[in-house]
Amino acid sequence: MELLLQIIPIFLLLIISIIIIIIFSPKRWAQGRKKPGRQLAPAPGWRLPVIGHLHHFLTSRQPPHRLLRELSRKHGDVIRLELGEISHVLISSAEAAMEVMRTHDVKFAQRPPHPHYEKVVYGGMDLIQAPYGDYWRQLRRIATLELLTAKRVRSLRRVREAEVRTLVASIAASSPGATIDLTRMLFSFTYSVTTTYVMYRIISMSTFGDVSRGQEEFIKVAEKLVEYAGGFKVAYLFPSNALVQMLSGTEEFLDGIQKVVDGLAESMIEQHQARRAAQEGKSRAEEEEEDLLDVLLNLQENDTTLGFRLSTDAVKGFLLDIFLAGSETPAALIEWTMSELIKNPEVMYKAQSEVRRVFGGKGRVEEAGICELAYLKLVIKETLRLHTPAPLVLPRECREECRISGYDIPLKTRILVNAWAIARDPRYWGEEAEKFMPERFLNNKVSFRGGDFEFLPFGAGRRMCPGMTFGLAAAELPLASLLFHFDWELPRGVEPTSFNMDEKFGVTLRRENHLELIPVVRYNPLPSI
């Protein structure tokens, strides 16, 4: 509906001409753009003038990933979609996804341009949006060998444990029997964790009040940015149409977001540089452990192996990627896991029993013992399957013409892999593919680490998410703590069978409505704080 409201002002004057063209040239628009000798993927029916196949979205109330599943069920695992000015190919099978992300991975390693959004990410200087090539490879090396290593994840354990203690204490302090907005608390928690990852040396200098205020501001703009970056906004689909760009207000909208993002990043960098200048000359023994921004600034100042100097915009781009991916994914994962558990009380009971058996004698959950929570890990895998963090992965662009499943893929075609649909496909998951059933993974060695294409919560290939370990670490401890310290109830009048599980589509998949639950303290965390 939102998309329709955006498009109506632009195309009202074209309605009469569109009707005339449809009446007198139906075959032309049904066939679409096809060059002789090419075997293009089938299209879902009529391709209308100007908007192409966008009418499917305008007439549907379903979020894009669900609508696209319906289209693929009718027209095939590989279909062609002309959406506005942009040619897309939709992939809806594990076999075709493997061709894109493994067989021809390098040919699809490019990110498509994103109007105005690139300004927010500093002209594509960040890792997520950077064009494929030497610069991107060096950014990837920084991420995998410097920022997101397993050693780095372990070194930040005390940050996660401290923030989790604060989270469970705030829940325990709520009025008995009162409903809490768990969604708000979870997203605030994950952004707080990420803020501390990035600049805990500054926070330790008693500036947390300013940091916290900036964090709240960033959470607000991040939600808007995540929704916009989903890729189905009108301005995204008509990049060369100046009228569309003007009437959509996209440039002004993203300029406002960029101003907030850049201001926060600039403030973080300035505070770090001031502290570093004050500590100049001190020995390493006198300094505290590096936070993530220190790592980036050290690389900017001292690394001569990159082949280029890491620019300040690149540092800011890294910060934005870390905040968005490092906060959105774990918060949404915990939110969806708690939603499934409250809807499936028998699974909730099993998960709580395990956590309380392992940690009951300690009074709180410790990260060192998370490895003993075998059933909880199955619960998390099943949540990742049913609620894929990025339902359409992140779009890729064809760099070199090739064939997928026997169809020609033209240059510059944008590829959408519907990982959400593949993860619910009965061909791979059986007749109960839509059921939340963690036990399905007991004797199933399918992994989410990019080698099994029926399960792609973090993507695969060169563009696979490098922060998977970081994201899981930020989700497992708080989730286990919520299950250990509290029993959970639905608000009065709401039953598990009628519990709302509607989705809000974006580059990550959130709940449409905030998750509101009633916590009942089982192991009081307050004395241990």
> Which residues are documented as binding site for heme?
465
**Cα 301–chain centre separation:** 31
The span from the CA of 59 to the CA of 185, in Å, is: 35
Secondary structure of residue 100 in the 3-state scheme: helix
Secondary structure of residue 480 in the 3-state scheme: helix
- Helix, strand, coil shares of the chain, percent, nearest 5, are 60, 10, 35
Secondary structure of residue 348 in the 3-state scheme: helix
User: Position 41: which residue type?
Assistant: A
Q: How far apart are the first and last CA of the chain?
A: 47
Distances 469 to 169, 189, 231, 354 between C-alpha atoms, Å: 26, 18, 26, 23
- Residues near 361 by Cβ (< 8 Å), separated by ≥ 6? none
Cβ–Cβ < 8 Å for 83, 52 = yes
Give φ, ψ of 110 to 5 degrees: -90, 140
User: What is the DSSP pairing of strand 486-489 with strand 516-521?
Assistant: antiparallel
Query: How crowded is residue 201: how many other Cβ atoms within 10 Å of its Cβ?
Result: 20
| Known binding positions | 465
Please, what is the Cα angle at 467 between 466 and 469, to 5 degrees? 115
